[in-house]
Structure 1
């Protein structure tokens, strides 16, 4: 009999027991990762049922927005189109993945209230569901990125393995953020509006539509302390044939370790109460 089972039978449920049960949930969700994928795929299919192009409608509208911003803002900022459009295209696609995943993370447990109250599925399955759903959308939007890279010639200088490393850090971090906002949103229902306001502000403070080298040196803290910038830069820079600063990887690695540690601790303490919050 393992320690967790013994504690459960004897009724002694302390912090160690809660951590062990949370680890069980994590392991069980990993073993049922196919279920998370099926739920994510079902979300995408259900959302666009009856549509001719499905999620490609979003890709098409995003492509038109990138073209408009790239041409107009490039002219306003006096940046060549062949430089600005690829910069904006990669920025919008990956920044959109980050913010959308975080915003939808607020509904991770609230939206699954029915399943959580009627089944014994691992709770983290619904976190992976949110992340995978947005990775499916990202796969559609990569059509824009690849098209832009090929058209403007960046595909030859792009460092794809390093970009995949950046994508790994991006997914590792948005996953714990989704879990965090999902837990808090289950308890406090006004959190999604606050989170959405933060991501909207981040779109202005992060170099998605403006070049980071255009701001004065005294304002570089906007970049150095901006997690959204590091998440974006780790993927965008290698795709545009540029190097990634070492401190960006250190920032993202530290963010992932600390974030997962604190969030998993919170999940351990609140796991049994989340269903009651709903």
Structure 2
């Protein structure tokens, strides 16, 4: 590598980092746009964003009640488990699927408004955080009905949730850039995420596997990265024992993910406006 090449790569890395920093600095813009997205979706609706909570709550109660009966699980334990699983899954699911279309969906703004590309990703993640805040009300209600034993250690769900948000940013950035160049990635991700929903312990758990004589599958499921993201938030909120290896896996995936995203930003960030 020549000195000129090294200088050019250093310059592109600087521009990629500057895009992230400048985009975060425009907080007023993406905070406002993210909130307006939700308001626009429920414009002229009486209940507004509460419909989000109602829809998620209905699904959680239906699935939690059904599977607790089918597999003879305690409703007081399985309903909060399923509810949290769905709420956290919706956040991760949106980061992957909506993230892959984030630049294509904002084609007009990208071509007409000279803002950092990361603004559109921050807007997407902020919108999903707001939806998460709406949905977590369901769990609060269920936690009041079926109280769980908590301790101060359970407050680790706060840094765990922050870690998931950080991951949502790199996921949306990375898949957004790749799917803008290769449009087949978006439908491919949709099919993959559908499969992962059933392969991730959201509506079932280890007891369900053992009841079906499939306890050995628990080891295989450990290779599903989404399991670890779910557990670091769900376990403390349920007052369950937290396992260190889930945190280790998530932190390692965060480092690897941001490394890949930094490379993608360096190589292709400037081409996104032409690809959309």
The two structures have a TM-score, normalised by structure 2, of: 0.92
Aligned residue number for residue 272 of structure 2: 274
Aligned residue number for residue 104 of structure 2: 110
Q: What is the number of equivalent residue pairs in this alignment? A: 268
For residues 9-88 of structure 1, the aligned pairs below 5 Å read: 14-88=8-82
Q: In the aligned structure 2, how far is the partner of 1:247 from the partner of 1:229?
A: 11
1:233 to 222, 231, 253: 231
1:253 and 2:251 equivalent? yes
Other structure's SS at 1:182 match: helix
Other structure's SS at 1:243 match: coil
Aligned residue number for residue 161 of structure 2: 167
Q: Deviations over 1:234-263 (max 9, x none)?
A: 110000101221111110000001100111
Q: Which runs of 5+ in 2 are unaligned?
A: none
Q: In the aligned structure 1, how far is the partner of 2:58 from the partner of 2:151?
A: 25
Choose 224-233 or 64-73, whichever is displaced more. 64-73
Other structure's SS at 1:146 match: helix
Q: Which runs of 5+ in 1 are unaligned?
A: 1-6
Aligned residue number for residue 202 of structure 2: 208
Aligned residue number for residue 216 of structure 2: 218
Aligned residue number for residue 185 of structure 2: 191
How far off is 1:62 after superposition? 1.6
CA contact (8 A) 2:206 2:215 kept: no
How far off is 1:217 after superposition? 4.7
Q: Deviations over 1:50-109 (max 9, x none)?
A: 111112112112212211222221010110111111111111111111102211101211
Aligned residue number for residue 3 of structure 1: none
CA contact (8 A) 1:163 1:236 kept: yes
What RMSD over aligned residues (CA atoms) do the two structures have, in Å?
A: 1.8
How far off is 1:163 after superposition? 0.9
CA contact (8 A) 1:48 1:55 kept: yes
Choose 168-177 or 201-210, whichever is displaced more. 168-177
How far off is 1:159 after superposition? 4.9
CA contact (8 A) 1:149 1:155 kept: no
1:129 and 2:129 equivalent? no
The two structures have a TM-score, normalised by structure 1, of: 0.91
1:144 to 138, 150, 172: 138
CA, structure 1 residues 82+158, in 2 after alignment: closer, same or farther (shift >3 Å)?
farther
Q: In the aligned structure 2, how far is the partner of 1:78 from the partner of 1:157?
A: 28
Q: In the aligned structure 2, how far is the partner of 1:21 from the partner of 1:156?
A: 45
